[in-house]
């Protein structure tokens, strides 16, 4: 598979997806997301792959959506000219991709290091397990943009209601150790051991029967859906877009966007 920002390879029964855009702190342009989706679909379709690992090269897992791309919206096939077009594009891409990756029937593990900002959460949260380096930090400071959180609003499910509110209200970050205590992260390891520890976990899981793994994943996800996970994700996505629309009406753009962009640029320069 020849892609520009993503690599995909199979290590025995483990499909390894690597986001390889370290010069931009692995920020996500539409092209990056499309390539990630191609890799996810390849891993899903390969009968030899029993477990999927998602990792990234460089100091940071992902600085979120790329807000400094030199490509125009037209070049990328994006139409944000109206609120309706913006809603449709983000539904088909941001929300659809995250929900689709979550529902891939094979177990998946995210390996997270450094900064995981805003849409970076939409890469690791769809995975079934998360292994974090001891320097990992998770944040979603999008109140700077006048919206309630990134498009996949799983904060309450991942962090619990009070910690989710603190994260969103303050724009602060939680450490890998805090995320482990909250149950969002399965394991915290030294940075140098992140990939080896993640691959060891993946190969251990891959020894199990593939269909039994599929049923176990479906059982847990189905239980979450019965409790309201999918319905809440869809409904809060609408709130997210109400924030976008209000920002356009009130300010003609995104309020305090400079603050969020500065934070992302700092991650890219580190």
Q: Give the per-residue pLDDT at 124.
A: 98
- Span of 109-113, 199-203, 236-240, 266-270 with lowest mean pLDDT: 266-270
What number is the average pLDDT over the span 38-67?
96
Please tell me which residue, 239 or 268, carries the higher pLDDT value: 239
What number is the average pLDDT over the span 195-219?
98
Q: Give the per-residue pLDDT at 252.
A: 60
Q: Give strand pairing partners of 266.
A: none
Q: Using CA atoms in the order 53, 56, 61, 67, what is the torsion angle rounded to 10 degrees?
A: -120
- Span of 76-85, 188-197, 217-226 with lowest mean pLDDT: 76-85
Q: Is the pLDDT of residue 37 over 70?
A: yes
Q: Give the per-residue pLDDT at 172.
A: 96
Q: Give the per-residue pLDDT at 247.
A: 73
Q: Is the pLDDT of residue 94 over 80?
A: yes
Q: Give the per-residue pLDDT at 262.
A: 52
Q: Can you read off the two tokens belonging to residue 41?
A: 């679909």
Q: Is the pLDDT of residue 261 over 60?
A: no
Per-residue burial over 145-158, b if 16 or more Cβ lie within 10 Å, else e, is bbbbbbbbbbbbbb
Q: Give the per-residue pLDDT at 70.
A: 44
Would you say the C-alpha torsion 88, 91, 92, 93 has a positive or negative sign?
Answer: positive
Query: d(Cα 55, Cα 123) in Å, to the nearest integer?
Result: 9
Q: Name the residue with tokens 């520009």.
A: 4
Q: Give the per-residue pLDDT at 148.
A: 86
pLDDT tens digits for range 134-152: 999 999 998 888 888 899 9
**Percent above pLDDT 70 for the chain:** 87
What number is the average pLDDT over the span 45-59?
98
What number is the average pLDDT over the span 247-265?
56
In angstroms, the first-to-last Cα distance of the chain is 30
Average pLDDT, the chain: 89
Q: Is the pLDDT of residue 100 over 70?
A: yes
Q: Is the pLDDT of residue 183 over 70?
A: yes
Q: What are phi and psi of 222, to 5 degrees?
A: -65, -40
Q: Is the pLDDT of residue 73 over 50?
A: no
What are the structural domains of the chain? 6-269 (3.90.226.10)
pLDDT band at 74 (very low <50, low <70, confident <90, very high): very low
């Amino acid at each position: 598979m020849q892609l520009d920002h993503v690599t995909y390879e199979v290590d025995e029964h483990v499909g390894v997806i690597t986001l390889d855009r370290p010069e931009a702190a692995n920020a996500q342009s539409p092209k990056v997301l499309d390539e990630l989706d191609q890799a996810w679909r390849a891993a899903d379709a390969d009968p030899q792959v029993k477990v999927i690992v998602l990792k990234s090269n460089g100091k940071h897992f992902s600085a979120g959506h790329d807000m400094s791309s030199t490509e125009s919206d037209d070049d990328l096939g994006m139409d944000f000219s109206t609120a309706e077009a913006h809603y449709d594009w983000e539904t088909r891409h941001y929300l659809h991709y995250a929900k689709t990756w979550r529902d891939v029937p094979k177990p998946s593990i995210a390996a997270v290091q450094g900064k995981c900002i805003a849409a970076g959460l939409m890469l690791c949260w769809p995975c079934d397990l998360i292994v974090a380096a001891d320097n990992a930090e998770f944040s979603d400071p999008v109140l700077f943009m006048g919206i309630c959180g990134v498009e996949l609003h799983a904060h309450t499910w991942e962090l619990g209601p009070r910690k989710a509110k603190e994260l969103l209200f303050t724009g602060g970050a939680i450490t890998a150790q805090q995320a482990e205590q909250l149950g969002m992260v399965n394991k915290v390891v030294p940075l140098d051991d992140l990939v080896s520890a993640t691959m060891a976990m993946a190969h251990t899981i891959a020894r199990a029967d593939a269909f039994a793994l599929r049923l176990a994943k479906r059982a847990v996800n189905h239980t979450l859906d019965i409790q309201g996970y999918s319905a809440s994700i869809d409904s809060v996505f609408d709130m997210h877009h109400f924030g976008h629309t209000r920002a356009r009406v009130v300010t003609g753009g995104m309020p305090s966007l400079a603050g969020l962009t500065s934070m992302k640029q700092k991650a890219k320069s580190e």
